[in-house]
A and B are shown apart, each in its own frame.
Chain A
Amino acid sequence: MKKLLVLLVLLSLVLGSAFAQGTAETATVSYPTGPVSVIVPYSAGGGTDLVARALVDAAKGSFPKNISVENRTGGGGAVGMSYGANAKPDGSVITMITVELVTLPHTGTGAGLYYDQFKPIMMVNSAYSAVTVQANSPYNTLKEFLDAAKTKTMRVGNSGVGAIWHLAAAGLGKAANVTFNHIPFDGAAPAITSLLGGHIDAITVSYSEVASQVAAGNMKVLAVLAPERIAATPNIPTAKELGYDVAIGTWRGLGVPKDTPQPIVDKITSIFTEAAKAESFVKFMNGSNNIIDILDSAAYGKKLAADNELFKALITELGLKQQ
């Protein structure tokens, strides 16, 4: 047992070095005064977690008393975000907020969560839905696919009921006036596998999630549901230019409890704005197919409000609200 304890201590030392301390920095406001934790509402090793850890790693020099990532999972993100929203408003707890902040309250599973509980710091990245079919599918354009959907029930896979890619498919169906047979999976990966095996007709997950299959010639993207074409794929049209006015995607950003004093908010904003420009972070994001999409606090606040309305309307219309 003693041996085990010694091992445990050694292990924690090894693992602890991942969150190594940075050097001190003179600050205009007295922040940070203690250790800071960044709450990730999803599990370690997932997409949101990796982005958070890369960003925190780039910012750690500004946190002499240590900054660490804490995964608080559960409720599709509601548990971690509620924890972050109700933390002490002194900047000691920063939360990685995601699009679920403006979808969960409307599906009725947000457990009291609402976007105005947060003061937005900045949006870090975004990913839009890509309408993807098998490479040997008879449909080569979005129009062909949607026209066919009028007579045939298309099975469209998503990453979970009420999740962002389900809403994306539903939003597309609404714009094109067709009804899909939505098949929910437990995350994006099983939906991709199912399309690869030919068990469903299409998926509406993000472009980065299907990029490797597209490169290998197994799948083709008919359109992206983005406001404008994605820089990495200038040849893929947006649904908007094809006449279907729908742009739905996910985003990740940072937020602090709404009562956090403005000087601290400004300080956190400047630290992470710098961190998002760091070479290591940019390299990580490019390498992992994540699109950096920075919005400042004000613009991010507006996006939160706009998306909140968008998803509220969509979820109500789809009848996804639970009692």
Chain B
Amino acid sequence: MLLEVLNSVFSFQILLFIVLGVFTGICIGALPGLTATMGVALVLPLTFGMEAIPGILLLIGVYVGAIYGGSISAILLRTPGTPAAAATVLDGFEFSKRGESGRALGISTVSSFIGGVVSVLALWLISPQLAKLALRFSAPEFFLLAVFGLSIIASISGNSLAKGVLCGALGITLSFIGIDSITGYPRFTFNNINLLSGMSFIPVMIGLFAMSQAFTTVEKIFTPDQVTQKISKVWPTRSDWKVILKHAPISGVIGTIIGIVPGAGAEIGAFVSYGQAKRMSKHPERFGTGIPEGIAAPEAGNNGVTGGALIPMLTMGVPGDAVAAILIGALTVQGLQPGPLLFTEHTTLVYSIFLGMFVANIAMLLLGLSSLKLFVKVLSVPKAILTPMIFVLCVVGSYAINTNFFDVGVMLFFGILGYFMQKADVSVSPAVLGLILGPMAESNFRRALLMSEGSYTIFIASPIAWVFLFLTLLTLLGPLVGDALKKKKSTM
């Protein structure tokens, strides 16, 4: 069997498809508006005429590449190419402002690789055991996971916690728009058909991050850049390596676990990893000012999701995230039924996927490191040329997601809002997090109460629920207790 697997992956054709997939994925990921999910869906028809193994590995290549690719534009242009890179903006763009974009991209590439490899190892070695974890999650656990995620707002609020909480509340409020998922009642839709399915997340994100940044740049469009980009070093320095090796493996594990949980994807993995790194850090106040762990953690976290998301898919036929759902479609088209029997009936295929995914991560590392210098050159384009291009990318990206011009309007609205938020020194990340986690928290809270017929004890009925309650309390009260202890020490 081993020989068969090696043969099926290490053929020229398959390696070519993996590299091609990763390359396509990086490009798709780097372009705002084209998400990993969309990239995989777009490439999917190409695999209809292919054999199962090359077809699925091409798609996995796109997936791995796209989750990583989003960080490139996040670091260089403050434009998360995919929602998965929204957390990377926080510290990543600060590097570019200092002229250290090469260093930031290097850290991101190596961390993504480590996160991806950790998740592939988990997928390879302990997926049947981990798969059971996915089944333990029901509505109350999802709700508490979302609440834990929201507690990270405390970590990403920038200078003012009050502003951050307000901004997070804004994001959650925005998520109320659309058809209510439990009763089917249209909320805040003003009889506008475009609002029925809610605020489209991508245009809001592009507006808040990219468009607002482009508006800010317009103010100084003819002043030449003070900062020259140091592009010589993309391979991380010894001190950066220390940080990466400390944070990336842990974030990879966090990402893998988030990936296993059905319905929680790479964007949540990245934010949770960022929050965790900040909690572990001896100098949490420096997060958001452009420190290596602020890139290493979210980037390892989001690539950790890639392997994790495949665990429930390959072992139980249950998608771990939206991309895994498409991969299930891709396997079905090949006449393979993803489900509990896949492991026993198509062992070669399953192990080829493991090995192929490992190769895809290596391809991502090599392609990333070798092309970073090219990417950095984007920043040497004069602002008067680059900024209009970003405008165009923002418009095209928000249109592409649903082919709907309404979304372009949404993007512009949030671009303007984001611009004034920047002026008022309000971090926009909590709003994005609120918009991601709001629906998850709300619908699962109400679904849990439906299931328990109104009894609140369902929220403390399982060990997983207790774990998330504890983690949430730790996040919220930890700094307070820490401060109190410090005070006590100093008065003693």
Question: How far does the alpha carbon of A217 sit from the alpha carbon of B30 in the complex, in Å?
Answer: 43
Looking at the complex, which one of A44, A79, A185, A186 makes contact with B404 (CB distance below 8 Å)? A79
Looking at the complex, which one of A8, A76, A162, A196 makes contact with B316 (CB distance below 8 Å)? A196
Is there a chain A Cβ closer than 8 Å to B337's Cβ?
A: yes
Residues A73 and B197 in contact in the complex (CB < 8 Å), given A45-B325, A189-B325: yes
Say how far B68's CB is from chain A's closest CB, in angstroms.
Answer: 15
B135–A197 contact, CB under 8 A?
yes
B317–A212 contact, CB under 8 A?
yes
B45–A18 contact, CB under 8 A?
yes
Question: How far does the alpha carbon of A162 sit from the alpha carbon of B186 in the complex, in Å?
Answer: 12
Contacts of A182 in B (CB 8 A): 450
Looking at the complex, which one of B37, B185, B196, B263 makes contact with A45 (CB distance below 8 Å)? B37
Chain A contact residue count (CB 8 A cutoff): 70
Among the stretches A121-129, A227-235, A262-270, A284-292, the one at the interface with B is A284-292
Contacts of B186 in A (CB 8 A): 108-109, 322
B138–A11 contact, CB under 8 A?
no
Q: Which of B125-160 contact A (CB under 8 A)?
A: 134-139
Is there a chain B Cβ closer than 8 Å to A24's Cβ?
A: no
Main secondary structure of the interface of B (DSSP, over half): helix
A76–B197 contact, CB under 8 A?
yes
Question: How far does the alpha carbon of A19 sit from the alpha carbon of B375 in the complex, in Å?
Answer: 30
Is there a chain B Cβ closer than 8 Å to A200's Cβ?
A: yes
Q: Which of A189-242 contact B (CB under 8 A)?
A: 189-190, 192-194, 196-200, 211-213, 215-218
B333–A15 contact, CB under 8 A?
no
Say how far B70's CB is from chain A's closest CB, in angstroms.
Answer: 14
Question: How far does the alpha carbon of A43 sit from the alpha carbon of B202 in the complex, in Å?
Answer: 14
A161–B339 contact, CB under 8 A?
no
B453–A194 contact, CB under 8 A?
no
A-B Cβ contacts below 8 A, count: 177
B337–A211 contact, CB under 8 A?
yes
Question: How far does the alpha carbon of A162 sit from the alpha carbon of B375 in the complex, in Å?
Answer: 48
Is there a chain A Cβ closer than 8 Å to B227's Cβ?
A: no
Q: Which of A23-59 contact B (CB under 8 A)?
A: 43-47, 49-50, 53-54, 57
B193–A194 contact, CB under 8 A?
no
Select from chain A the residue with minimum beta-carbon distance to B402: A73
Say how far A81's CB is from chain B's closest CB, in angstroms.
Answer: 11
Is there a chain A Cβ closer than 8 Å to B183's Cβ?
A: yes
A44–B42 contact, CB under 8 A?
yes
Is there a chain B Cβ closer than 8 Å to A7's Cβ?
A: yes
A7–B27 contact, CB under 8 A?
yes
A212–B326 contact, CB under 8 A?
no
Looking at the complex, which one of A14, A75, A212 makes contact with B197 (CB distance below 8 Å)? A75
Residues A18 and B46 in contact in the complex (CB < 8 Å), given A4-B31, A190-B263: yes
Looking at the complex, which one of A186, A212, A320 makes contact with B339 (CB distance below 8 Å)? A212
B181–A197 contact, CB under 8 A?
no
A1–B193 contact, CB under 8 A?
no
Is there a chain B Cβ closer than 8 Å to A61's Cβ?
A: no
A218–B340 contact, CB under 8 A?
yes
Is there a chain A Cβ closer than 8 Å to B447's Cβ?
A: yes
Contacts of A161 in B (CB 8 A): 180-184
B45–A57 contact, CB under 8 A?
yes
Which B positions have Cβ atoms within 8 angstroms of A?
24, 27-28, 30-31, 37-38, 40-46, 48, 134-139, 179-186, 191, 193-194, 196-197, 262-263, 312, 316-319, 325-326, 329, 332-335, 337-341, 374-375, 377-378, 381, 385-386, 389, 402-404, 443, 447, 450-451, 453
Is there a chain B Cβ closer than 8 Å to A181's Cβ?
A: yes
Select from chain A the residue with minimum beta-carbon distance to B28: A11
Q: Which of A71-102 contact B (CB under 8 A)?
A: 71-76, 78-79, 82
Contacts of B138 in A (CB 8 A): 194, 197, 199
B403–A15 contact, CB under 8 A?
no
A74–B197 contact, CB under 8 A?
yes
Select from chain B the residue with minimum beta-carbon distance to A218: B340
B329–A50 contact, CB under 8 A?
yes
Select from chain B the residue with minimum beta-carbon distance to A53: B45
Say how far A15's CB is from chain B's closest CB, in angstroms.
Answer: 5
Is there a chain B Cβ closer than 8 Å to A176's Cβ?
A: no
Question: How far does the alpha carbon of A17 sit from the alpha carbon of B316 in the complex, in Å?
Answer: 34
Say how far A64's CB is from chain B's closest CB, in angstroms.
Answer: 20
Say how far B193's CB is from chain A's closest CB, in angstroms.
Answer: 4
Residues A1 and B139 in contact in the complex (CB < 8 Å), given A212-B340, A287-B334: no
Residues A162 and B184 in contact in the complex (CB < 8 Å), given A11-B28, A194-B138: yes
Which A positions have Cβ atoms within 8 angstroms of B?
1, 3-4, 7-8, 11, 14-15, 17-19, 43-47, 49-50, 53-54, 57, 70-76, 78-79, 82, 107-109, 111-112, 153, 155, 160-162, 181-186, 189-190, 192-194, 196-200, 211-213, 215-218, 284, 287-289, 320, 322
Looking at the complex, which one of A47, A153, A192 makes contact with B453 (CB distance below 8 Å)? A153
Pick from A189, A200, A284 the residue with the most CB of B within 10 Å: A189
Contacts of A186 in B (CB 8 A): 181, 263, 443
Contacts of A215 in B (CB 8 A): 337, 339, 341
The list of the 9 closest CB pairs from A to B, nearest first, reads A212-B339, A75-B196, A216-B340, A44-B41, A45-B41, A197-B135, A45-B326, A199-B138, A287-B335
Question: How far does the alpha carbon of A107 sit from the alpha carbon of B184 in the complex, in Å?
Answer: 8
Select from chain A the residue with minimum beta-carbon distance to B24: A11
B389–A1 contact, CB under 8 A?
yes
Contacts of B180 in A (CB 8 A): 161
Contacts of B182 in A (CB 8 A): 161, 184
Question: How far does the alpha carbon of A254 sit from the alpha carbon of B469 in the complex, in Å?
Answer: 49
B197–A189 contact, CB under 8 A?
no
Residues A111 and B196 in contact in the complex (CB < 8 Å), given A72-B404, A196-B316, A289-B332: yes
Contacts of B183 in A (CB 8 A): 161
B27–A72 contact, CB under 8 A?
no
Say how far A66's CB is from chain B's closest CB, in angstroms.
Answer: 15
Question: How far does the alpha carbon of A281 sit from the alpha carbon of B403 in the complex, in Å?
Answer: 27
B337–A212 contact, CB under 8 A?
yes
B337–A190 contact, CB under 8 A?
no
Say how far B375's CB is from chain A's closest CB, in angstroms.
Answer: 8
Contacts of B403 in A (CB 8 A): 70-72
Contacts of B339 in A (CB 8 A): 212-213, 215-216
B139–A4 contact, CB under 8 A?
no
Select from chain A the residue with minimum beta-carbon distance to B45: A18
Question: How far does the alpha carbon of A184 sit from the alpha carbon of B450 in the complex, in Å?
Answer: 9
Contacts of B374 in A (CB 8 A): 3
B340–A197 contact, CB under 8 A?
no
Question: How far does the alpha carbon of A211 sit from the alpha carbon of B42 in the complex, in Å?
Answer: 27
Question: How far does the alpha carbon of A75 sit from the alpha carbon of B316 in the complex, in Å?
Answer: 30
Select from chain B the residue with minimum beta-carbon distance to A208: B332
Contacts of B447 in A (CB 8 A): 183-185
